[in-house]
Amino acid sequence: MAKFTWLPLAAALTATALAPAMAATDAEITTAIDNGLAWLAGQQQADGSWAYGGYDQAATGAVVAAFISQQSHWGADATAYQTVVNNGISYLLDTASTSTVSTRNDGVNICPAGGSCTGVYWYGAGESTYTTGLVATAIDQYGETKGASAVATASGPLAGYTWGQIAQGITNEYSASQSSVLNGNRDGGWRYYIPGNGDSDMSTTQWAVLSLIYDQTLGATTPAAVKSDLASWLAFAQDPGTGAGCYQGPASGLCENSDTGGLLLSLKFLGASISDPAVQAALNFLNANWPTYANSTWYGNFGQPYAMWADYKALELWLGLDDTTTITNLLSTCSGAGLGSPTSGICNWWQDYNQWLVANQNADGSWNGYAYWYGPLATAFDVGILGATYIPIPVSTPEPASLALLGAGVAGLGLLRRRRA
């Protein structure tokens, strides 16, 4: 069964470069980010998009999000880069799709005020769930700078909509497209398509969840039923033996880093605590499989931009960038002069990523990527990691009973210290 069909296949490139022992310095990281942004800016098309074999909306969302998250690195290029972002956002607003939604396929109403409501999504050459997830991070970040009540555009399919209404519309569309109890053990997740097709996989689900998290920053609300059913999906998708997130449950045989990152992100959205056995098992899996290279399309960590970005988002949320005690099975020693903030000389998971990315960047500022994830998409993800992209903390909600959460949280344990970019 194909796991990820929405991007054209690039020549597979397995990362084999050994990570040097010395840490990437702050200056080297800054240079890598600056060069990555410059390369991305040079790839923008006349219509404001980035070309990606027909999946231009997805690539554009990823790149614009990277630019917004790295505004502190714009420097002398601030005016030009603001134009890059504005043109990218205009392209995304102009190519949005809307629909009228009311219930999931099980008849549960998902609209904030009942009745019917507007859904917003991006078609993405048919792979709408992935594409909308990548676009929502850009749209919501941009909307935050303008204010939720500001009108986003005067023309196109979203004419007259405020940024807050667009965010709620994205949440409405995902909520209506969630698989339900009618779909058996696929209850609670998402698949490729909007409207939903009654199937689920962990890779796709993470993009729905990421959108719901970013939508919250503009005031969007997620129905309680969506969260309770998502908890059911996560319980099904996790391998009870290894703790890994699995594409379509352990029986699918595809349990790896990227799906584990998606699982952890989703558990955070549901309000799980660090002491939850599901969280601990997933973190243990990542630690055990951390120093692996991209292989066999879906597997591995270093050199697999999809997995690295999935794991970065999860670990930034759960651990922050300064934790040195959870992911200890590192690829490199990344020690020596220049290793400072935020860990005061102790190598950790984020610095391990930074070291590899600095050592493997192309001279033109891009990264090769791997398999389906290459060019602007890979470079956007890698710049986001190097630049300490801040992932919004999900709005607190009551813990779904089906999670069977343990403990009262992690206050005082120092595991959730955050570094904001």
In tens, the pLDDT along 339-394 reads 556 766 778 999 999 999 999 999 999 999 999 999 999 999 999 999 999 999 99
Rounded to the nearest 10 degrees, how much is the dihedral formed by the CA atoms of 256, 258, 263, 266?
180
Average pLDDT over residues 58-68: 98
Average pLDDT over residues 220-228: 97
Rg (CA), the chain: 20
End-to-end CA distance of the chain: 39
14 pLDDT more than 50: no
418 pLDDT more than 60: no
Interatomic CA distance for residues 164 and 161, integer angstroms = 8
Does domain 26-403 correspond to CATH entry 3.30.70.20? no
Structure tokens at 46: 């006349």
pLDDT at 339: 58
pLDDT at 334: 79
pLDDT at 333: 80
In tens, the pLDDT along 193-222 reads 988 778 999 999 999 999 999 999 999 999
Interatomic CA distance for residues 329 and 6, integer angstroms = 33
1 pLDDT more than 70: no
| Residue bearing tokens 């056995």 | 277
20 pLDDT more than 70: no
At residue 336 the predicted structure's pLDDT band, cuts being 50, 70 and 90, is low
In tens, the pLDDT along 90-129 reads 999 999 999 999 999 999 999 999 999 999 999 999 999 9
Average pLDDT over residues 294-302: 96
291 pLDDT more than 60: yes
Task: Label the pairing between strands 97-101 and 369-370.
Answer: unpaired
pLDDT at 346: 79
| Residue bearing tokens 């941009």 | 142
Q: Please answer whether residues 223 and 208 qualify as being in contact, where contact means their C-beta atoms are separated by less than 8 angstroms.
A: no
- The mean pLDDT of the chain is 88
At residue 410 the predicted structure's pLDDT band, cuts being 50, 70 and 90, is very low
Burial of 46 (0-12, 13-18, 19+ CB in 10 A): exposed
pLDDT at 91: 98
At residue 338 the predicted structure's pLDDT band, cuts being 50, 70 and 90, is low
404 pLDDT more than 60: no
Residue 54 has φ and ψ, to the nearest 5°, of: 95, -15
pLDDT at 61: 98
In tens, the pLDDT along 26-60 reads 899 999 999 999 999 999 999 999 999 999 999 99
